[in-house]
Amino acid sequence: MGSSTNNANKEAILILGAIILGLITGLILYFTNNQEVALYVKPIGDVFLKLLKMIIVPLVLSSIFMAIINIGSPDELGSLGLRSITYYFFTTAVAVLIGLVIVNIIQPGIGVDVGAELSAAQTSKFEASSSKGLLNTIIGVVVDAIPTNPFKAMAEMKVLQIIVFSIFLGIVSLLNRKIAQPLINLMESVEKLSMVLIDWIMKVAPFGVFALMTHVIASSGLNAIYGLAKYMIAVLLGLFIHMIFLLIIGSWRHKSSPLHILKACLPPMLTAFSTSSSASTLPITMNAVQDNLGVSKKTSQFVLPLGATINMDGTALYESVAVIFIGQAYGLDLSVTNQIIIFITASLAAVGAAAIPGAGLVTMSIVLSAVGYPLQGIALILAVDRILDMFRTSINVFGDCVGTVVVDSFEKSK
């Protein structure tokens, strides 16, 4: 444990250093008008992202499969699943509630100039998403989770579909142990080798993170930050309070100090910050909870892939703040009824959001249309979405880590 904690510290420090260096380099390039230099650095970030993504399919397939084999019975699997989903919904609801309270106190949208327009291409993207409606989106998520062709699901990296296929394959193997033995051996080795590969990828993480940061900062519209400072503060404050909340339950269930939990989760949180993708961060998250927090393999193998796909506290909080901000800016109806609708729809829209950059912005159109707010409002917050995505994705990933700790602690105390 001691040496793994040291490793985690070293990893976290290197990645944090890379983020700070990337931030400074990006700012220098931005203010000296040399943004194009960032394009030369970008390929390093792209290579890092691709390496992470390369591991997702074998990791999700083998880890869910092996989790089921290790859990040993469909009943236990059901209880693990139920615990995880209860945790997801509870913490997501808390996140949205925090967002709503903060945005109603700070009121960042009052007095904002609503002159901004969306381009035709952007409008059609958001309209397509909102016209589906909330119920259809949720039903769509469930129906879409079942793959018709598991190989296509893997080829297209549809994580939820891969999870469902692995669950079926795991259960049928559990019930037919003898026939499944060669497959179990194969999956066990795929899973172990994936973890070794992740260790290797972690060694180049600081370079990748530096490149991603430099590119994002150099190419962001930093001017927009000034006009939207109050809105950004509301989102960041909300995310910070939620992080404290997660830290409290994490340290309560893990029986260790909040600082220990935070340190252990820093490598995945910082990677999430620089990639803005919970899915791409999954390999590193898996590594961190097993090595740094001692979460049992069978819990993390099952709970983390599911969490990365459907548990997004940061996104849910962000959506509630953004939608109320738009309502305030346009002087729309902010009645309790509307806020309750936003509370419910933002929680569910976060479940429907893919674990990739900018996904939360797209599902936000569902929340807006549920309360009849104009989709045009998205134009007001578009400029700072990428930056806020970095923060909300970190909290999404932190929520997944804490969730695994919580579920694991209940499993162990059984």
Positions that interact with ligand ASP (CB under 6 A): 276-278, 312, 315, 353, 355-360, 389, 392-393, 396
Of 218 and 322, CB closest to ligand ASP? 322
For residue 381, the surrounding DSSP H or E stretch is helix 378-381
Distance CA 181, CA 183 (A): 5
Rg (CA), the chain: 21
Of 22 and 307, CB closest to ligand ASP? 307
* Minimum separation from the CB atom of position 52 to ligand ASP (A): 12
* Minimum separation from the CB atom of position 392 to ligand ASP (A): 5
* Minimum separation from the CB atom of position 32 to ligand ASP (A): 29
* Minimum separation from the CB atom of position 6 to ligand ASP (A): 29
* Minimum separation from the CB atom of position 330 to ligand ASP (A): 23
* Minimum separation from the CB atom of position 233 to ligand ASP (A): 19
Of 250 and 360, CB closest to ligand ASP? 360
* Minimum separation from the CB atom of position 413 to ligand ASP (A): 30
Query: For residue 248, which amino acid is it?
Result: I
Of 251 and 311, CB closest to ligand ASP? 311
* Minimum separation from the CB atom of position 286 to ligand ASP (A): 15
Q: What secondary structure does DSSP assign to 74-95, as a single string?
A: HHHHHHHHHHHHHHHHHHHHHH
Of 254 and 392, CB closest to ligand ASP? 392
- Retrieve residue 36's tokens: 């194009």
Distance CA 236, CA 27 (A): 20
DSSP 3-state of 138: helix
Cα four-point dihedral sign 269, 275, 276, 279: negative
Of 272 and 405, CB closest to ligand ASP? 272
Of 294 and 358, CB closest to ligand ASP? 358
* Minimum separation from the CB atom of position 246 to ligand ASP (A): 15
CB environment 283-300: b (16+ within 10 A), e (fewer): bbbbbbbbbbbebbbbbb
* Minimum separation from the CB atom of position 42 to ligand ASP (A): 19
Distance CA 265, CA 168 (A): 31
Residue number of the CB atom closest to ligand ASP: 360
Of 19 and 71, CB closest to ligand ASP? 19
Cα four-point dihedral sign 267, 268, 272, 277: positive
Nearest to 256 by CA among 399, 405, 398, 407: 405
Are the CB atoms for 99 and 343 separated by under 8 Å? no
Q: How far is CA 3 from CA 9, 199, 283, in A?
A: 10, 15, 20
Of 69 and 380, CB closest to ligand ASP? 380
Distance CA 348, CA 133 (A): 11
Cα four-point dihedral sign 288, 291, 293, 294: positive
* Minimum separation from the CB atom of position 13 to ligand ASP (A): 24
Looking up tokens 């999954």 gives: 282
Helix, strand, coil shares of the chain, percent, nearest 5, are 85, 0, 15
Distance CA 254, CA 25 (A): 38
Distance CA 131, CA 133 (A): 5
Of 130 and 173, CB closest to ligand ASP? 130
Q: What secondary structure does DSSP assign to 242-290, as a single string?
A: HHHHHHHHHHHHHTS-HHHHHHHHHHHHHHHHHH--HHHHHHHHHHHHH
Of 389 and 411, CB closest to ligand ASP? 389
